[in-house]
Amino acid sequence: MDNFKARRILLSNIKNLRKKQRKDVQSKDLNPSVFIQCPHCNTVVVKEKMEEEMWVCPKCDAHIKYYARKRLNSILDPGFEEIQRDPVGFDPLHFPNYQEKLDRYERITNLKEALVIAEGEIDGNPCVMIVLEPRFMMGSMGSYVGDEIVRGFSIAKEKNLPVVAFCASGGARMQEGIFSLMQMAKTSNAVREFGESGNLYVSVLTDPTTGGVTASFASLGDIILAEPGALIGFTGPRVIKQTINQELPDGFQRAEFLLDHGFVDEIVHRKEMKKYLSRVLELHR
């Protein structure tokens, strides 16, 4: 798209928005290639500005879901190498339309599966970085994702490198049934074996980190960090409330609540994350 056409679209959208009261503006009214509406405060932000802010709302400071490759580029120094393998088709339950869904999410995300793994450096400190992609089937962990996480820890152990994992997931992938649940044990064992080498594993919990991912490798870091406001838990608060028939505390399953109760070690703002991780890795070296 040339600059003139892009400017015309921008001006047209601004004109249309001015005709509406702010309270009436809905996401469906916006051109997503030009504007982003904060899901927390409903502020409308030019997409270019949101990119500059690392998808942190400039008004309410909410941390909006951040894509895997954007995280890699925001944390790792230039020159890192992606090392995840291409997936091979795996549909053990012959789940209806599973392959069609995988193909659709590949088109949406330009990724072949729900994670990216890279070997690189953070301010000169080498590491292996694992990042789940929340847009790809909610970052769910199936057999491929589990295998690649294990492989990432194995490579880090072999090369004596620390691991940094950014978790964002709805949990185990239901389309693979028991095979997806097996990944919980498999990834947990990979963390155990990696830990025996004496190296460092930093787990960063982002919004949302839930289900089988929370109940496995995401909760096993030597240091567990979280982004502000992230939803972190196993089962959602609504299900828990219905099960125990009790009101839940304010902020239940949010990063701040978990910090107060000792589940996470620190809450780190997205814009400060690279500096924080760099300092941690430098101390570990």
| Start-to-end CA span in the chain (Å) | 47
High-pLDDT (> 70) share of the chain, %: 90
Give the residue carrying structure tokens 């589990």: 146
The proportion of the chain whose per-residue pLDDT surpasses 90, expressed as a percent, equals: 83
Mean predicted confidence (pLDDT) in 212-218: 98
State pTM to two decimals.
0.88
Least confident interval from 121-125, 205-209, 267-271, 281-285: 281-285
SS3 250: coil
pLDDT in tens, 93-107: 999 999 999 999 999
How high does pLDDT run on average in the chain? 92
Which three-class secondary structure state does DSSP give residue 249?
coil
**Confidence band for 16, pLDDT divided at 50, 70 and 90:** low
Lowest mean pLDDT among 124-138, 177-191, 245-259: 245-259
Residue 157 to residue 89: CA distance in whole angstroms? 28
Q: At CB < 8 A and 24+ separation, what contacts does 228-234 make?
A: 228/61, 228/63, 228/255, 228/256, 228/267, 228/269, 229/62, 229/63, 229/254, 229/255, 229/256, 230/63, 230/205, 230/206, 230/254, 230/255, 231/207, 232/205, 232/208, 232/258, 232/263, 232/264, 233/209, 234/210
The pLDDT assigned to 260 comes to 97
Greatest Cα-to-Cα distance within the chain, rounded to the nearest angstrom:
62
Please tell me which residue, 28 or 212, carries the higher pLDDT value: 212
- Torsion (CA) 145, 147, 149, 151 in degrees, nearest 10: -150
Query: Count of H helices and E strands in the chain?
Result: 10, 9
Query: Quick one: pLDDT at residue 13?
Result: 67
Above 80 in pLDDT, residue 257? yes
- Average pLDDT for residues 141-169, to the nearest whole number? 98
The arithmetic mean of pLDDT across residues 74-85, rounded, is: 98
Using alpha carbons, select from 49, 57, 58 the residue that is nearest to residue 207: 57
What are the Cα distances from residue 247, in Å, to 121, 233, 237, 240, 254?
45, 17, 10, 9, 16
**Residues in a beta bridge with 209:** 169, 232
> Is the predicted pLDDT of residue 33 greater than 90, yes or no?
no
Q: What pLDDT was estimated at residue 21? A: 44
Structural domains of the chain, with CATH:
3-52 (no CATH), 68-284 (3.90.226.10)
